[in-house]
Amino acid sequence: MTEPNLHFSRDEFAARLAKTRAAMQAQGLEVLIVHDPSNMAWLTGYDGWSFYTPQCVVVGPTGTPLWFGRNMDAPGAARTTYLPADDIIGYADHYVMSTERHAMENLAEILTARGWAAHRTGVELDNYYYSARAHGCLVAGLPNASIIDATSLVNWQRLVKSPQEIAYMRVAAQIVEKMHERILERIEPGLRKNELVAEIYHAAISGTDTDGGDYPAIVPLVPTGLDATAAHLTWDDKPFETGTGTFFEIAGVHKRYHVPLCRTVHLGTPAQEWFDAEAALLSSMQTGMAAAKPGNTCEDMHKAFIDELRSHGYDKESRAGYSIGCSYPPDWGERNISIRPGDTTVFEPGMTIHFMPALWQETWGLEITESILITESGCEPLANVPRQLFVKD
């Protein structure tokens, strides 16, 4: 049997599993069922576009985790995880897209056969990939189990990155640099927006001279003019026009590790209000990043940023950042910390954060962001793209 294609050492996977089991023990859990594909990948290495059907990783009281998914995806688990064959279990295809039966019924049978039917079991209740029907079928199939919410238990274990994870993110940072280079080279009045997005994807997947790119968890967000007053619009087939600004919210990705980076391009000379907003944003970013250091908290960073931003006459209601790392659609955030008031998580070396101090005004939007790594003494940007509003005639 050929060796699987692992992006991390077996020792690293063992350390992740031990860390997860310690967190389970702290919550009194004997079994943990993980549906988030990012958490599945982090625990086992599994990497496949199969999250449109029920799948999960089960961490039991002992031994290696169990991968559970569609039969046709079991070979993918064998190719991408370190798990032994006995812990890769596929379910029959009549469970797929069925209104008569559900794969969680089959999982309940498997857990019962393994003697885990009456255990205190955690599930990710607030997760994109775990439906209400899936939960109902699991509960019905395990009537003697205590099933409780363990949302984000694994996400919190992922917060501090290993050296190998950081190495992948540094490659992703080089990729996003090339993506922004391509944007500045190609954007011009008359170019259809979808054509530029095609160029962005080409740069993203082409990667560097030595390392390939991966698909992003979020598609390029490329709104122009009034559309840029909204945070999450994508693109259309209209041509760019002189006198408009467009922000580009994109990420370089390598081995599923994301480095988002946002910049704004204005075609033609913008009004003075753009430069005023740029100055406020850059000053507040510098102040916020100075507070991003070990010993300080997420809310310390937010306070430093928001106080400086308000001193320039601007405000921002939404959070100013979040942790990043391994991700699958529909989000590249890790769903643990947030840069906002009330988050007292203490920064540690190895944390990676998308610092996201964007401004969405009544008639335009300005995004200038940085993905940063917390170091022993402060923080450093992962990518090297000039931090400014770009103006192109």
Domain spans, the chain: 10-157, 163-392
Q: Give the Å distances, CA to CA, from 167 to 9, 159, 160, 170, 362.
A: 14, 15, 13, 5, 40
- CB < 8 Å & 24+ apart, contacts of 96-103: 96/53, 96/70, 97/53, 102/54, 102/133, 102/134, 102/137, 103/53, 103/54, 103/68, 103/70, 103/134
Distance CA(157)–CA(336), nearest Å, equals 9
Distance CA(379)–CA(20), nearest Å, equals 27
With residue 164 as reference, give the H or E element that holds it. Answer: helix 163-186
The residues of the chain scoring below 50 in pLDDT are: none
Q: What is the DSSP letter of 345?
A: P
Distance CA(24)–CA(268), nearest Å, equals 56
Is 194 in contact with 204 (CB distance < 8 Å)?
A: no
Distance CA(323)–CA(304), nearest Å, equals 18
What pLDDT sits at residue 267?
98
What pLDDT sits at residue 100?
96
Q: Which tens digits make up the pLDDT trace of 117-146?
A: 999 999 999 999 999 999 999 999 999 999
Which numeric CATH code is attached to 10-157? 3.40.350.10
> If DSSP codes are grouped into helix, strand and coil, which group holds residue 204?
helix
Q: What is the DSSP letter of 221?
A: B
Single out the residue of 232, 231, 263 nearest to residue 245, CA to CA: 263
What pLDDT sits at residue 77?
98
Is 79 in contact with 4 (CB distance < 8 Å)?
A: yes
Q: Give the Å distances, CA to CA, from 25 to 18, 31, 112.
A: 10, 10, 21
What pLDDT sits at residue 3?
87
Q: Can you tell me which residue has the tokens 């991968």? A: 67
What pLDDT sits at residue 141?
98
Is 8 in contact with 45 (CB distance < 8 Å)?
A: yes
Q: Which tens digits make up the pLDDT trace of 218-259?
A: 999 999 999 999 999 999 999 999 999 999 999 999 999 999
> If DSSP codes are grouped into helix, strand and coil, which group holds residue 353?
strand
Single out the residue of 6, 5, 13, 74 nearest to residue 39, CA to CA: 13
163-392 belongs to which CATH class?
Answer: alpha beta
Q: Which tens digits make up the pLDDT trace of 17-59?
A: 999 999 999 999 999 999 999 999 999 999 999 999 999 999 9
Distance CA(31)–CA(102), nearest Å, equals 20
Is 332 in contact with 216 (CB distance < 8 Å)?
A: yes
DSSP H helical ranges for 59-162: 74-80, 103-113, 132-141, 153-157
What pLDDT sits at residue 1?
58
Single out the residue of 116, 115, 55, 136 nearest to residue 91, CA to CA: 55
Beta strands at 31-34 and 120-123: parallel, antiparallel or unpaired: parallel
The yes-or-no answer to whether 10-157 and 163-392 have a common fold is: no
Mean pLDDT of the chain: 97
Q: What is the DSSP letter of 200?
A: H
